[in-house]
Amino acid sequence: SQTIHQWPATLVQPVGSPLSLECTVEGTSNPNLYWYRQAAGRGLQLLFYSVGIGQISSEVPQNLSASRPQDRQFILSSKKLLLSDSGFYLCAWSGDLTLSYTFGSGTRLTVV
C-alpha cells in the first residue's frame, strides 16, 4: 500500500536560519507531489507541485523553494526564514488516475 512520510513533525527555527523539510512516498511510482501551507486561521495554500524528477512549479512568489531529487522525494527549503514563514506545512501526493490526494501528517513550523 502507498504511504507518505513527512518530517519533522514540529520545528522551531530562528529568523534568518535555513529550512529543509522532507517528504517521501512509498508504494507508488511517478507520483504528483505537492507542498501546501496552512497559516494560522487561514485555509490551505498550494505552494509547489511537481509532476516528475526535477520538475517544480511554484504557485506563489515567496521565500521558499522546492526540489525533487528523486522520484518519490520532495523537499521544501529556505535559505533564510522569515517570521511570516510560520505555519503548518503539508506534503501530499496524487496519481495520474486518481482524483484524491493523500496527505502527510504535516510539519508545524514556528519561526521565532
Binding site for another protein (CB under 8 A): 6, 32, 34, 36, 38, 42-44, 46, 49, 90, 92, 94, 99-106
Structure letter (DSSP) for residue 27? S
- Choice between 49 and 75, CB closer to another protein: 49
Quote the least distance from Cβ 15 to another protein, whole Å: 25
Cell numbers representing residue 110 in the block: 514556528
Q: How far is the CB of 69 from another protein (least distance, A)?
A: 22
Q: What does the alpha-carbon distance between residue 26 and residue 4 come to, in Å, rounded to a whole number? A: 6
Which residue, 67 or 106, is less far from another protein as judged by CB?
Answer: 106
Residue 4 contacts residue 74 (beta carbons within 8 Å): no
- Are 107 and 52 in contact, with CB atoms under 8 Å apart? no
Which residue's CB is nearer to another protein, number 17 or number 98? 98
